[in-house]
Amino acid sequence: MSSTVIRVNGKAPAEVSQHHVPMLPPPVWVDGSPSLRQITDDIARPLEMRPGKGWWICFSIAFAALLNLGGMVSYLFAKGIGIWGLNNSVGWAFDITNFVFWVGIGHAGTLISAILLLFRQQWRTSINRSAEAMTIFAVMCAGMFPAIHMGRPWDAFFIFPYFPNQRGPLWVNFRSPLVWDVFAISTYLTISLVFWYLGMIPDLATLRDRAAGGIKKFVFHILSLGWSGSQRTWSRYEIVSLVLAGLATSLVLSVHSIVSMDFATSLLPGWHTTIFPPYFVAGAIYSGFGMVLTLLIITRYTMNLQNYITLRHLDKMAKVTMLTGMIVSYAYLTEFFSAWYGGNLYERYHFINRATGPYAWCFYLMVLCNVVTPQLLWFRKARTSVVFLFAVSILVNIGMWFERFVIIVVSLHRAFLPSGWGMFYPTVFDVGILVGSFGLFFTCFLLFIRFLPMIAMWEIKGVVGHGAHKMALSSQEQEEPVSV
Amino acid sequence: MRVQLALLALLGAVLAAGAGAWQLSRIGIHQGYSPAQPIAFPHKVHAGDNQIPCLYCHFAARTSRHAGIPPASVCMNCHNVLEKQTVEIEKLKEAVDLAQPIRWVKVHNLPDFVYFNHSQHVQSGVACQSCHGAVEKMDRVEQVSPLTMGWCLRCHREHAKVPVNDFERAALSLKQKQKPTAGLDCASCHY
Amino acid sequence: MSDSDSHGHYASCKSAKERLVQIQPQEAPAYWKSVAELQNGPRSSGEFPGGLPAAGQSGTTRRDFLALMGFTLAAAGLSGCRAPVQNAIPLLVGSDQFVPGVANWYATTCRGCAASCSLLAKQRDGRPIKIEGNAESSLFGGGTCATGQAMVLSLYDDERLRGPLWQGQPAGWEELDRRVAESVATAKAGSGSIVLLSGTINSPSTRAIISEWRASHPNFLHVEYDATSLSAMRAANQESFGLAVVPHYALDRARVIVGLDADFLGTWLSPVEFTRQYANGRKPEDAPSLHIQFESGMSVTGSNADLRIAVAQSDLGPVAAALLARIARRGGHAGIGPIEDPIDSRKLDAVAEQLWKHRGESLVISGCNDVTVQIVVNTLNVMLGNIGKIIDLTRPSLQRNGDDQAMSDLVEKMNRGEVHTLFMLGVNPAYDYHDPARFLSGLEKVPLSVSFSDRRDETSSHVHAVCPDHHFLEAWGDAEPVATHFSLAQPLIAPLFGTRSAQESLLKWLGHEPADYYTYLRDYWQKNIFRRQRGVPDFQSFWDRSLQEGLVVLPLLHPATEPRIQGNWRAAVHSIREDQAKHRQAGSADRYELDLYESVALRDGRHANNPWLQELPDPISKVTWGNCAAIAPATAAKLKLTDGDVVRLRTVTQQIEVPIFIQPGQHAQTISVALGHGRNKVGRAGQNVGVNAYPLLRVKDGYRLLSAREVTLEKTGRSEKLATTQTHFSMEGRPIVLETSLEELHQSSEVGIEPALPTLWAARPEGEHAWGMAIDMNACTGCSACVVACQAENNVPVVGKDQIERIRIMHWIRLDRYYSGPEEDPVAVHQPMMCQHCQNAPCETVCPVLATTTSSEGLNQQVYNRCIGTRYCANNCPYKVRRFNWYNYTDNPQFDFNMESPLGRMVLNPDVAVRSRGVMEKCSMCVQRIQLAKNVALQGRRELADGDIQTACQQACPTQAIVFGDLKEPNSRVAQLQHSQRRYQVLDELGTRPNVSYLKKVRNPVRTT
């Protein structure tokens, strides 16, 4: 957008702001008004120097977890699903819980980069890149679980309609939400990937130009697709990003709606509910922002980017978290209300059992994390205390994981026929694979912040003081006055 | 120039992928499999030249799921009285004298998880040749058909008539007497 | 032939060839394996035996022929795209009787217990693979019990001895015969006696052999000993009627049945027969009989009673006496003093009222092994005029001949060293005698002890010689379960091992040459049975027909004379009263009584190594793999005990440690423990599973009472996990098992089928048939025969204790048991639950790969090779009947049961795929039987008739509670039942449209106030 402008008028920022202050308050989303070169340096630094001790520690932990994942999944394939705690009553537990959890995480990225882009929320600029990366890694983790939860993973290709097929025309079951999932998730992954990569091209070009030479330069050369930065490139580039944003926006809503139909279309009390799609989407955004908060709070310290990911960013995200959190709480209420009001024997028993049964503690943990916690964010103090926000973000993640656990396991363990009731107890492999999925996620993310610009340089340059007036013109609505 | 090259490469890739997929889909299909047998038994001579009906030797096919390879005793029914001698017939007689069963090599191997019943097909008037090919012309038996589910279904679809209303059902059960319908239910073969 | 799992190799085929090359008749058994592979060949891998130990010489021509049926499909691994080399080895000599792949059925007689039910056994290419009841039998009908169904697996038990043992070492038959002959000779000369200690023997020919022994050896003694005996009843009948017999009952003719701790629907005397009669007598559409049961622990019988009254073991006698007092008063008999009612008098009045109202068509049965009680019961039946009408003493039952006193005398003799040679046939006293130490010390003093046991069990591991008997499916034999009802047993397979039938051994040692039991049996039948019948002129055709039908019923030898009551029953009542008083003084709150009962699956313990039976949930407690002490909820609360807490039960002399199970309906002062568990020498499956409770039983004037008094209960602090298959026993007010009352039923008349709920799905094309099932909740007693039948028919794997604790049982049909009413006096229902074959199947819509679909004939079909195992279907199944293969249960050392061993896999049904790891499975309504019946109809060029197809569960059910058929055929039984006013469908409000419907349970309460 405005980068073009920045590039044409190379005046000192001071003049610009002087000149324009009476006109409009300049929206500034970067502290300590660094020079453009300074910005590039700050953001490119981690990529060009050896990583610090902090990074290595995090990475070794994450990688260990990843190795553990590899080991346990191999053992799973060798032995069978029996090594999990599942049984005839509870056919899904950690596997699908993790799946829904990770898909949920995956929502923030696209939301931030697509929807906020359409709404022209400038503050997204410094967080969208890492949020998108997070999305991709989260969806990778999510995609893993449906694959490994199969009894015969080597036949996983059965769920795609494939050709040539010696079994005679033999189709997948288009009535099955699991098939919808396959399409939804794969589409979502593709679009997010494209969106993410496209957004990086100008920065890759920058890195290409900065690179001294050798393999690094070559790689960036290839990746940046011969980006020239000409006027024409920029204008087309922006159109493309807008179009992609439009596509991605619909996906944000579709994916988790479809995931929620895995449950909504079945007839189990606790699953068979019409409010699931919106409820799940809200929950997804809620958990997604939770995870973004966690990641950014860590990285802004480890990579000392406090100037770029400012308290004002955290404040914004906290507000979104609170809002979605309250939507989720509302959904919980609705569920209980309709269970009581609907008067369905099984439904009613299920919700009583949810709050008083053997898994009640999960339910109350969930309520604590998803209903009570967000309410604390009403206070500005809370929203601006980094430590507190970090704690909140962790709680949010825990709460959302347990929400899925409650929905899946508590519904299954006491279904229609009391003779079929039974408890689920996780085994070391259930837990290990959950931990492993975090390992996969963080390994990817750490590699990302090590090798790719984790903040969109070209975009953030638009929201420092220099381009303020241009930015103001391009911006449709008022930015709130900067409070520093 | 560049563009053409790119397109060419693309085309190549697509073709390669297609060929690969085709090959993958052919795994486990042994069409044309024709192993050597311990005794070079010529179906051509027996079923072809001498017009011995298939079910004379493979009598089990009438009542059993297995067509069954005839016991040596069945061979001896004729070869006791025929004076023609060949090396192969010698082998047969030796086996009988030594009371040593003959280890034939199985030609048609169905997958493990499908139930196939010869009698059902024989009784429904399916000719042996329609699956086994013109065995009476073969010196050494060869697997003619792919024996894949798609191949089975092609025939089953032709002969399946799933009635939709009572009239059709009535008509069908009349027809049943002459010609039974082939099942299209999974459970017709998989259980 | 091959090492027959998917990755078989040429090598194995070669080695196989070596074995093949030399075929001699005595090598025959080597071919059994190949026969096994014959049918299995094309089926799932890992299913076929890799080889069998050589077996002994086989006599008859049929066996030779069977032995020659070599035919092998050696699966060599499909490696990549290389063509798999499979070999096909045909018979050398064909036969028109035998077509590879076509099953033959032979009539025989069950030896699972002394009830000796008539059976039809399915032989597929020379391999018995399924047992069914013989519908020709007027006694037992086509039904069987769970144990009977499982007998075919015990044939393929790895623990069976491969040949005879001398001093624990493998030996030759010649050697053993020599040694025994010597010993017998010396014994004949000397003073020591020759003793045959056996279980109940009701085989006429065998009894003939025994009497030959008696004749030729003056010092020969035959002692019959049953672990759970009825000898007190025989003694009582001796005293009351002068006949030392166990009568034959006709429950179907009784209008009122009063049971005193006799589990006649579960294990007592002849459960299959009784269950059948019971159900016939209780059809709600006509006047059903009334059943009142007095018992301490909840039994199968009690759970079916109209009125179940929990009483302490010590009160059973007094209850009988109290009833007698009332009846006697009405009957105008004097001489019974006042008897203090052990329980609520109004209940006793009500029961007496009912009995008296139905004089001559009522029945009182007691299972107590206590002479006084039995005499009182006899008197009751006499005063009620039931003798000769309901109770038949002229055609007695021969199913329990054990004599406790003879046994204890024998043990004493042995200890005094007066026994020189001891043969033991079908007994295991070292395990089930109440004083095993005493028995073993006696056994040591016996110069030559011989056991015919098929394995090294507790007893046979202490004897000099073990001469393993055949399994009954390998042997000739006959039986006379009830006087004048004869049945034959014939071998279905050449002996797998170097065993020899006990009768043959006895004949040989008797000096018969050739000692061929078959000839002996045939002669015996010619001389005795054939003579007594008129129907058939020449013996050959009589013999053939008897073999084919398996049974013969003869007229009575001499006209029966009605037995008159004699003996002093007042004395009996008196002693009961004294005993009661004595117990009252001794009794205190922390002293409990023990009630020991035969377990439905393992019976007296002889079947402990049968994994099917170990894994069969107890019909009441639903506990598998082991026994536990049933304790009343109140008692458990008082002692702060929960399920699985291990307690120490201590009698005066003995003690056991056993986990408790809180049993609704249990009498507060009585603790029930199942017998038959805790074998410590039986084999891999049954080794040390559960606790042996025999040592606790109490002997009263020479009779083994299956109970004990003055038992103390101590906590051990330990706790075990009980492997139960059902953890929640309340229906939570859900409409799952519906009930109706007799009045309601008789008021209203037939109703049509209510219209099904509307559906959004498009109508699916319908085929010729619509298979459906109707299950009569009123007929089902919960005996669980269907469960094992299904397991045998459909290759359902055994998963073991640990997996069941994890709720992973694989049974396709289960019996849900729910309680309603107060904990201390609940009402129980049993509900068979299997795939309901819904027309709008919830499982179907969610499967991503269409692995489960509804067929045009209304079957919900599961395609294993399409299934990828997402388990979504199981989650969405409201009936929770789908079963997932969590592991590979075949050929997997982790699951060391029958499907792990090549021998055990011989029992598998070649027409049903063995499921691999990671796929879902469930009841298929025995689709293989449906397809077979269609094929047979096609071959006969006819339409399918109702009854052509019987599912395994339906066939096994002694009460015919399960009816299967074509719903489209308006006259089929199942279609008729759709119009019954009792009809309902479980959870049909979900719109699943099941093809299985249930018939409501009918309650017929007894007014006790």
Nearest-by-Cβ selection for C45 from B59, B112, B172: B112
Q: Where are the beta strands (DSSP E) in C78-180?
A: 86-88, 103-109, 118-124, 127-133, 165-166, 169-170
Nearest-by-Cβ selection for B109 from C44, C84, C866: C84
Contact A173 C807 (CB under 8 A): no
Contact C92 B100 (CB under 8 A): yes
Please tell me the least confidently modeled range out of A6-10, A137-141, A412-416. A6-10
Nearest-by-Cβ selection for A91 from C849, C871, C917: C871
Looking at chain A, the whole-number percentage of residues with pLDDT higher than 70 is 90
Distance from CA of C891 to the nearest CA of A (A): 13
Contact C935 B117 (CB under 8 A): yes
Contact B25 A166 (CB under 8 A): yes
Residue window 332-351, chain A: list those with CB within 8 Å of chain C: 345-346, 349
pLDDT band for C83, please (50, 70, 90 cuts). low
Chains that touch B (3 or more CB pairs under 8 A): A, C
Nearest-by-Cβ selection for C70 from B68, B101, B109: B101
Check residue C144 and give its pLDDT. 95
Say how far apart CA B61 and CA B118 lie, in whole Å: 5
Chain C nearest-CA residue for A416? C878
Q: Taking CB atoms and an 8 Å cutoff, what residues of chain C touch B102?
A: 89-90
- Mean pLDDT over C717-746 rounds to 91
C935 touches chain B (CB under 8 A): yes
For residues A467 and A110, the model is more confident at A110
Residue (of C339, C386, C343) closest to C361 by Cα position: C386
* Residues in chain C, total: 1009
Distance from CA of C967 to the nearest CA of A (A): 26
Distance from CA of A220 to the nearest CA of B (A): 22
Check residue C315 and give its pLDDT. 92
A166 touches chain B (CB under 8 A): yes
- Mean pLDDT over C453-457 rounds to 94
Chain C nearest-CA residue for B114? C43
pLDDT digits (tens, 9 = 90+) for C619-672: 999 999 999 999 999 999 999 999 999 999 999 889 999 999 999 999 999 999
Q: Taking CB atoms and an 8 Å cutoff, what residues of chain A touch B154?
A: 168
Q: Taking CB atoms and an 8 Å cutoff, what residues of chain C touch B56?
A: none
Please tell me the least confidently modeled range out of A294-303, C48-57, C174-183. C48-57
Residue window 138-177, chain A: list those with CB within 8 Å of chain C: 146, 149-153, 155-156, 158-159, 170-173, 175-177
Residue (of C465, C548, C545) closest to C502 by Cα position: C465
Contact A418 C842 (CB under 8 A): no
pLDDT digits (tens, 9 = 90+) for C112-158: 999 999 999 999 988 999 999 999 999 999 999 999 999 999 999 99
Chain A nearest-CA residue for B155? A168
Interface with chain B: mutation pick from C31, C863, C926, highest number of B CBs within 10 Å: C863
Check residue C76 and give its pLDDT. 30
Check residue C627 and give its pLDDT. 93
CA distances from C358 to C133, C250, C286, C329, C387 (A): 33, 15, 16, 16, 13
Number of Cβ within 10 Å of residue A390's Cβ equals 17
Distance from CA of A436 to the nearest CA of C (A): 21
Q: Is the pLDDT of residue A20 over 70?
A: no
Q: Is the pLDDT of residue C51 over 70?
A: no
Contact A164 B22 (CB under 8 A): yes
Contact A151 C806 (CB under 8 A): no
B155 touches chain A (CB under 8 A): no
pLDDT digits (tens, 9 = 90+) for B27-51: 888 888 999 999 999 999 999 999 9
A22 touches chain B (CB under 8 A): no
Say how far apart CA A349 and CA A343 lie, in whole Å: 10
Residue (of B128, B112, B121, B117) closest to B179 by Cα position: B121
Q: Which burial class, exposed, middle or buried, applies to C600 when counting CB atoms under 10 A from its CB (0-12, 13-18, 19+)?
A: buried
Q: Is the pLDDT of residue C68 over 80?
A: no
- Bridge-based pairing state of the strands C246-249 and C307-310: unpaired
Contact C43 B120 (CB under 8 A): no
Average pLDDT over all residues of chain A: 86
Q: Taking CB atoms and an 8 Å cutoff, what residues of chain B touch C45?
A: 112
A93 touches chain C (CB under 8 A): no
Q: Is the pLDDT of residue A17 over 60?
A: no
Average pLDDT over all residues of chain C: 87
Contact C732 A412 (CB under 8 A): no
- Mean pLDDT over C931-935 rounds to 92
Check residue C1007 and give its pLDDT. 77
How many residue pairs bridge chain A and chain C with CB atoms within 8 Å of each other? 160
Q: Is the pLDDT of residue C38 over 60?
A: no
Q: Is the pLDDT of residue C805 over 60?
A: yes
Residues B25-28: contacts with CB under 8 Å, at least 24 apart: B25/A164, B25/A165, B25/A166, B26/A166, B26/C81, B27/C80, B27/C81, B28/B111, B28/C78, B28/C81
Contact A165 B25 (CB under 8 A): yes
pLDDT digits (tens, 9 = 90+) for C206-215: 999 999 999 9
Q: Is the pLDDT of residue C754 over 80?
A: no
pLDDT band for C234, please (50, 70, 90 cuts). very high
For residue C926 the two structure tokens come to 């025995």
Say how far apart CA A160 and CA A147 lie, in whole Å: 12
pLDDT digits (tens, 9 = 90+) for C389-426: 999 998 999 999 999 999 999 999 999 999 999 999 99
Q: Is C986 helix (H, G, I), strand (E, B) or coil?
A: coil
Interface with chain B: mutation pick from C768, C919, C949, highest number of B CBs within 10 Å: C768
Say how far apart CA C592 and CA C671 lie, in whole Å: 7
Nearest-by-Cβ selection for A152 from C816, C833, C918: C918
Q: pTM score, two decimals?
A: 0.90
- Mean pLDDT over C924-945 rounds to 91
Contact A164 B154 (CB under 8 A): no
pLDDT band for B175, please (50, 70, 90 cuts). low
Number of Cβ within 10 Å of residue B99's Cβ equals 15
Distance from CA of C463 to the nearest CA of A (A): 44
Q: Taking CB atoms and an 8 Å cutoff, what residues of chain B touch A168?
A: 148-154
- Mean pLDDT over A265-288 rounds to 92
- Mean pLDDT over C103-108 rounds to 94
For residue C43 the two structure tokens come to 């089926």
Say how far apart CA A95 and CA A72 lie, in whole Å: 13
8-state DSSP, A115: I
Interface with chain B: mutation pick from A162, A166, A173, highest number of B CBs within 10 Å: A166
Q: Is the pLDDT of residue C966 over 60?
A: yes
Average pLDDT over all residues of chain B: 86
Chain C nearest-CA residue for A183? C848
Contact C987 A151 (CB under 8 A): no
pLDDT digits (tens, 9 = 90+) for C836-874: 999 999 999 999 999 999 998 999 999 999 999 999 999
pLDDT band for B161, please (50, 70, 90 cuts). low
Chain C nearest-CA residue for A155? C868
Looking at chain A, the whole-number percentage of residues with pLDDT higher than 90 is 54
Contact B64 C102 (CB under 8 A): yes
Q: Is the pLDDT of residue A321 over 70?
A: yes
Nearest-by-Cβ selection for C848 from A178, A266, A423: A178
Interface with chain A: mutation pick from C886, C916, C986, highest number of A CBs within 10 Å: C886
- Mean pLDDT over C68-80 rounds to 32
Q: Taking CB atoms and an 8 Å cutoff, what residues of chain B touch C865?
A: 111, 113-114, 190
Residue (of C134, C84, C79) closest to C106 by Cα position: C134
pLDDT band for C194, please (50, 70, 90 cuts). very high
Please tell me the least confidently modeled range out of A73-82, C86-95, C549-558, C953-962. C86-95
**Which residues are within 8 A (CB) of C690 and not within 5 positions of it... i.e. 6 or more apart?**
C625, C626, C627, C658, C674, C677, C678
pLDDT digits (tens, 9 = 90+) for B70-86: 998 899 888 988 888 88
pLDDT band for C17, please (50, 70, 90 cuts). very low
**C504 with C516: CB under 8 angstroms?**
yes
Q: Taking CB atoms and an 8 Å cutoff, what residues of chain C touch A421?
A: 727-728
Q: Is the pLDDT of residue C717 over 60?
A: yes
Residue window 202-261, chain A: list those with CB within 8 Å of chain C: none
Number of Cβ within 10 Å of residue C175's Cβ equals 12
Q: Taking CB atoms and an 8 Å cutoff, what residues of chain C touch A268?
A: 875-876, 878
Contact B153 A166 (CB under 8 A): no
Residue C646, beta-bridge partner list = C659
Distance from CA of C961 to the nearest CA of A (A): 20
pLDDT band for B180, please (50, 70, 90 cuts). low
pLDDT digits (tens, 9 = 90+) for C548-558: 999 999 988 77
**C942 with C932: CB under 8 angstroms?**
no
Check residue C994 and give its pLDDT. 94
pLDDT band for A279, please (50, 70, 90 cuts). very high
Q: Is the pLDDT of residue C71 over 80?
A: no
